[in-house]
Structure 1
Amino acid sequence: MFLGWYGLKAFRRMMVPEAMAVTAQGGITLGRALGTTAAFTFLNPHVYLDTVLLMGAAGMAQPAASRPIFVLGAASASMGWFATLGYAARLLTPLFARPSAWRVLDAIVGSVMLTLAVSLIARAFP
C-alpha cells in the first residue's frame, strides 16, 4: 500500500512541478539539517534491513578470515556511494532548477513505485 501511495503521490507532484522547484531562499539551520539527516538514517527501516540482515548474512557466508576484509569493503563501498550521491546532487542542481526535470524524475519514481507495488501484489495473490 505504501509503494502504491508513494507512486501516486509522485504522479500527482508531476502535475504540479512548481511544488518541487529549487529556490535559493529558505535555507535551514545546521541543527535542523543534522536532525533531518539523523531521522532519515535511524528511522529508515532499510538501514537495519540492509545493514543487519543483508550485510550480516552475506558477511556470515564468508570464511572467518575474510570477514574483516568483507566489512572493510562493504563500508568503503557505502561511503563511496553516499559521497557520489552528495557530489552528484551538487552537480545536478542546475538541471533540477527546471520544472521539467522534476516532472521526469517524478514520472520515473511513480512508475518504479507502482511497478513494485503491482509486482508485490501479484506475488502475494498468484
Structure 2
Amino acid sequence: APVRMTLDDVIGRVYDLSFDPYQCIERRWGAKDPTELASCADGPAKDRWYRAQRFLRNQIDRTYDVDMGYTPAQLEAGPHDLFSGRGVAEGPDVDVRGFLTSLKDRRQASIGDPAVR
C-alpha cells in the first residue's frame, strides 16, 4: 500500500534508507513497521543483509580504497571504524533540515534566460 512520507519522516529514517538496489523498495525507503513491510517480498537472507549493512549506512564518509566483499556475518562482527570497510557503529548527528535551510538564500549557477543573447 502507498505510504505518505514527509521530509521529517525521511530525516528520521536517514540511516535506515538503503542504497542497495537488491533490497525491496520498502527497505530502500527505511521501512521498519510490519504493516509497511507487508508488501516487501525479501526473505530472511535479504533481511539479514539489510541489518548488516546498517554499519555501512551509518558511515557518511566513503572509503573507496578498502575491500568491500564482506558477508553479512563479517559486517556484523566488525570491526566498525572508518577505515575497516565494514562501516561504523553509529551514524553521526546530521542536521539535514539545517543544511537544506542554509541553501535557501545561496546563489546557484544557472543558464539565465536562454532567450537573452
TM-score (norm 2): 0.25
Relative contact order higher in (CA < 8 Å, ≥ 6 apart) = 1
Normalised TM-score (structure 1): 0.24
